[in-house]
Structure 1
């Protein structure tokens, strides 16, 4: 093995370990937000020392999880085409994408990422994307609320509440029906709260 190859392999091993830790942390903390680093290490199949080598503290791990949360939100905003799609369509699609992920991964990032506020810290790119969406909804007269930052806060708060609700569709109908039911509930509720026409979604 060459001198250059060894550092590359070490970096690759470190990246794989970090990914395993983050995946394990997301699963463990979704069940128990107070889980210890030892419990996360066990779930990842790694030693506590390895976890501490990658993340110096529990807070550092939570910050890494928060970063992953924001990456998913940014991707969802891109996939929903919040800049170009009709704003009502973009709102519905964004909400659908978020619930598709949450129900398949049972992620609790939105609940535990920031212990001070009880929710995730949104990256500026996510804030800008959501504010743009609500500004476009206002311009299209789909809502009457004028402050996009207020609209964003209402959306995120209601998203958390709808996520916590018991199943909204019969279990036998599957996850797609559950995603649809929660998406419809959230978008209707948000539009109603922001002075919009709930029925406009289905016109």
Structure 2
């Protein structure tokens, strides 16, 4: 893809994220207007609304893969990596509200990264032995619940924020310290 086409595609995806967060039924024309491109350009890049939604979902998965890297899941102390990954994901949930609604589950590579993290947490004695995939599912379920808490919830204040509450709860739920 040419550089200008890549820039147009990126602008369309950014605009789609913003517009669809406010109005999930917004037209492709409205998204094109917000991106500063013609409706025809949107249709050239994305054959259908479904193709645009798929691209948003794939882009979010790429961001989740970046979380695994940024949190240094393979090398950082595992509790620290869990906390850092949680912070970054909560930032993503806030800044990409619409895309989050599209994703049913993280992609296989993201799941593998989380499973590695929970394996490392077990090896470090931070959690009781359990299947890494079970730990991942517990983590993701609790993440959804913590995300829904109002900002002024006492639990959030006591734990120092969403990531702190999530890590403390996950470690406790999985028999850790």
> What TM-score do the two structures reach when normalised by structure 2?
0.85
Q: Which residue number corresponds to residue 45 of structure 1?
A: 36
Q: Compute the displacement of 1:131 (Å).
A: 0.5
Name the larger-Rg structure. Answer: 1
Residue of structure 1 equivalent to 2:8: 17
**After superposition, where does 1:1-203 map in structure 2 within 5 Å?**
11-103=2-94, 105-113=95-103, 119=104, 121-144=105-128, 146-168=130-152, 180-197=160-177
What's the RMSD between the two structures over aligned residues? 2.3
Separation of aligned partners in 2, 1:161 and 1:140? 26
Corresponding pairs, count: 173
Change (3 A) 1:60 1:166: same
Distance in 1 separating the partners of 2:86 and 2:152:
15
Q: Give distance in 2, aligned partners of 1:168 and 1:187.
A: 18
Gaps of 5+ in 1: 1-7, 114-118, 171-176, 198-203
Deviations 1:18-75 (A, max 9, x none): 0111001111222333333233223222232211110111221122112211221121
